[in-house]
């Protein structure tokens, strides 16, 4: 039967009689369960929290824990390891779903790696008032929006270049990315810029997208290709690499059409003084036609690395070679 309950992201989770936290991304699952507990505690600080392991479950334990207490305190029953649920647990959950206990929130974690408990999952998805929190691994295109949302939740402004730098350095592990964002926010003040990220995480960013862009802008074809291959060999993804090129060349395009200098012009362009000065240095030797060609090449590469070509690494190497050779010819 088709799923009938809402399927939401971790940041949308809210109290419900039954909540299924489903998917392989444990970091997002932990976030969902932490948020759910926080919301329930805000509703009533006397919340009673109980934990069960579905893989070591004994018959009747759910009914005992979920039953109303003498003083009717609200209850949160957190169930881990749903993917290894015992037959007794599945049977008890199916019985419980027929009449969930008022004031009790039952949250079940299942990573979806096997079909164990499918009958239970199907029943939850048919239960009126239940919710499913989708905790799927983030793809290439999801990391930048995730980082942007993390910064928004921390009430901190960040430049596109800073976000690209963070994703470029920590894209292989979502928990590392989230922790890196929180750390740089806690340890710095003011808007988070690319320079702040590159300074704070120098060891992680030294062979990443921005080092490749620097070599290309300098017209050093050999260094650009070597740096690119080092970045890819250490796990850098082509998508944020191309995003770094797009950010830098858009910046060059903005500066190429600006006249005057100083803080006022920099503010009008949404830049820092040093960014404006560096961009003007980088523009030496660029004609409007060459800049347009470069931006068009970056747009084509962006499509290529997002699934329009079979080999995204070849697409980004082609872009790097094309832009670096163009600069070297100046």
Identify the CATH number of the domain in which residue 167 sits: 1.20.272.10
Residue at 128 is within a domain:
yes
Assigned domain for 1 exists: no
Mapping DSSP to helix (H, G, I), strand (E, B) and coil, where does residue 7 land?
strand
Final residue belonging to a domain, choices 103, 134, 165: 134
Quote the pTM value. Answer: 0.63
- Alpha carbon distance 152, 171 (integer Å): 18
Which tens digits make up the pLDDT trace of 225-266? 988 887 787 677 788 888 889 888 988 888 887 776 667 777
* Domain of 169, in residue numbers: 140-328
Whether residues 306 and 163 fall in one domain:
yes
Same domain, 15 and 59: yes
pLDDT beyond 50 at 271: yes
The verdict on 124 and 145 lying in the same domain is: no
How far apart CA 328 and CA 156 sit, in angstroms, is: 39
* Claim to verify: residue 158 and residue 43 sit in the same structural domain: no
Q: Are residues 221 and 286 in the same domain?
A: yes
Which tens digits make up the pLDDT trace of 10-49?
999 999 999 999 999 999 999 999 999 999 999 999 999 9
Domain total of the chain: 2
| CB distance 222 to 215 below 8 Å | no
End-to-end CA distance of the chain: 64
pLDDT, one tens digit per residue, over 112-132 is: 999 999 999 999 999 999 999
């Amino acid at each position: 039967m088709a799923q009938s309950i809402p399927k939401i992201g971790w940041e949308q989770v809210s109290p419900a009689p039954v909540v299924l936290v489903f998917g392989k991304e444990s970091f997002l699952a932990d976030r969902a369960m932490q948020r759910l507990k926080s919301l329930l505690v805000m509703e009533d600080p006397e919340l009673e929290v109980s934990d069960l392991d579905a893989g070591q479950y004994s018959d009747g334990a759910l009914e005992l824990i979920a039953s109303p207490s003498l003083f009717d305190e609200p209850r949160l029953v957190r169930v881990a390891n749903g993917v290894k649920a015992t037959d007794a647990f599945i049977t008890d959950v199916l019985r419980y779903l027929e009449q969930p206990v008022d004031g009790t929130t039952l949250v079940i974690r299942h990573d979806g790696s096997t079909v164990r408990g499918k009958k239970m999952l199907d029943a939850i998805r048919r239960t009126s008032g239940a919710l499913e929190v989708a905790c799927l691994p983030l793809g290439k295109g999801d990391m930048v929006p995730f980082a942007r949302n993390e910064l928004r939740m921390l009430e901190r402004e960040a430049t596109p270049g800073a976000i690209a730098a963070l994703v470029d350095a920590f894209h292989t592990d979502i928990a590392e990315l989230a922790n890196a964002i929180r750390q740089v926010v806690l340890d710095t003040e003011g808007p988070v810029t690319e320079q702040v990220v590159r300074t704070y995480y120098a060891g992680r960013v030294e062979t990443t997208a921005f080092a490749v862009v620097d070599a290309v802008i300098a017209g050093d074809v050999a260094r650009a290709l070597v740096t690119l291959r080092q970045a890819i060999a250490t796990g850098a993804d082509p998508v944020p690499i191309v995003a770094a090129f797009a950010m830098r060349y858009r910046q060059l395009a903005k500066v190429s059409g600006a006249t005057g200098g100083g803080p006022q012009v920099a503010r009008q362009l949404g830049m820092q003084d040093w960014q404006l000065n560096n961009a003007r240095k980088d523009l030496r030797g660029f004609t409007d036609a060459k800049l347009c060609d470069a931006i068009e090449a970056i747009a084509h590469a962006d499509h290529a690395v997002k699934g329009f070509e079979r080999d995204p690494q070849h697409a980004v190497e082609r872009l790097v070679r094309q832009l670096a050779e163009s600069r070297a010819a100046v």
